[in-house]
Amino acid sequence: MKILFDHQIFSFQDYGGVSRIFYELASGIKKTNNEVIIEGRFSNNIFLPKLKKGVIPFLPNLKFPYKNYLVFYLNYFFGEKKVSQADYDLLHVTYFHPYFLNKLKGKPYVVTVYDMIHEIFSKDYKDLRNKTSVYKKEVVTKANQIIAISENTKKDLIKIYKIPADKINVVYLANPLDKITPTFVHGLPKKYILFVGSRIGYDNFEFFIKSISDILRKKKDIFLVCSGGEYFSEAEKNEFTKLGISNKVVYKNFVTDGQSAYIFKKAIIYITPTLYEGFGLQILEAFSMSCPVIASKVSSIPEVAGDAVYYIDPKNADSINESVEMMLKNEKLRSSLVKKGKTQLMRFSWDKTVKETLRVYEKAIAD
């Protein structure tokens, strides 16, 4: 098979989970008897130059609103236009913009759905009120086959879009930090709880920080490290001051996988108090770095994490607070969860992801 990945996610993301997934997929497919072509002439994505030559960065040292949308339209108008050339057996679209639908010339396509966050939470969080859900519905409902990254995502797809179950194929992801060696990161506290993510909306950060603020005030040697997302906003800094913890919360982002691995490895606990998760890649990352995990008992997390995490109710402040207190005090519990995490991690591999994805491609072509 000759498979084409379009440029969307490599335009929209400089670094992130979805582009990382397509990097792993493309790398794995290249090791098989199949051919993979990756579209994208212009990109600031860190993974794309590892997959193809001749990628042109777009103003890499400048940061301004909607920059990645400009990259998308650069590729749309002045890119390689491989979708319309139709020199492939199947297109795997990397995100949900429907620009390609009238260019397929009868070729089948597959789309991966990661979660249904926009559909479920847009009424609660205004930053989710955009065209994504409209575009997504059109692209997903017209696809020859759909990949869902968890049974929970498949269930939500059936419930919200009324898509036939036999058109949706569950293909699990794997550990992004597999075979990665931790690289030293300066400026980390000696003991810290780790939060990874954008800290907005359904990430539930505001509720979480209030829930553990007394622990941070009381335990002078324990800090909270936030990684990923943007630096703290003025509103966040004001909230930290109000809670009396402005000197106990540290922002430490990573540039490389090695740095990400180090931040996980040195944490006492990784906590994800999210209200919804499509899969939970960071949980696998924590498992791989021997970091015990506290996680919300919601959506796909029990499916992916099994009994290898300590579960919380993300809407219950006492549940969050008491779980963090217990994990900090109980070294035996932390060690037990680390061992269980290593066992749970063995359920997932990128080789398995690639093999199951190729089966979906074959199914789509045969339709």
Residue type, 330: N
Question: Would you state the pLDDT for residue 50?
Answer: 95
Pairwise CA distance, residues 62 & 42, whole Å: 15
Q: Cα–Cα–Cα angle for 285, 290, 224, nearest 5°? A: 75
Question: Which residue is it, tokens 């906003």?
Answer: 233
Residue type, 9: I
This prediction's pTM: 0.94
Question: Would you state the pLDDT for residue 164?
Answer: 96
Identical fold for domains 2-174+349-366 and 192-345, yes or no, is yes
| 192-345 placed in CATH 3.40.50.2000 | yes
Question: Would you state the pLDDT for residue 200?
Answer: 87
Question: Would you state the pLDDT for residue 126?
Answer: 67
CA 151 to chain centre: 16
E strand residue ranges, the chain? 2-5, 35-38, 90-93, 109-113, 145-148, 168-170, 192-196, 223-227, 249-251, 269-272, 293-296, 310-312
Buried b (16+ CB within 10 A) or exposed e, 47-80: bbeebbeebeebeeeeeeeeebeebbebbeeebb
Six token digits for residue 350: 């990128």
Torsion of CA 82, 87, 90, 93, to 10 degrees: 0
Q: Per-domain residue ranges for the chain?
A: 2-174+349-366, 192-345
Residues 5 and 38: beta-carbon distance below 8 Å = yes
- Other C-beta atoms closer than 10 Å to the C-beta of 367 total 8
Q: Which fold has domain 2-174+349-366?
A: Rossmann fold (3.40.50)
Question: Which residue is it, tokens 């899969």?
Answer: 279
Pairwise CA distance, residues 209 & 204, whole Å: 9
Write out the chain's pLDDT in tens, 367 residues.
Answer: 999 999 999 999 998 889 999 999 999 999 999 999 999 999 999 999 999 999 999 999 998 999 999 999 999 999 889 999 999 999 999 999 999 999 999 999 999 999 998 888 877 766 666 788 889 999 999 999 999 999 999 999 999 999 999 999 999 999 999 999 999 999 999 999 999 998 988 899 999 999 999 999 999 999 999 998 889 999 999 999 999 999 999 999 888 899 999 999 999 999 999 999 999 999 999 999 999 999 999 999 999 999 999 999 999 999 999 999 999 999 999 999 999 999 999 999 999 999 999 999 999 999 8
Please name every residue paired with 294 in a beta bridge, in sequence order, or none if there are none.
271, 310
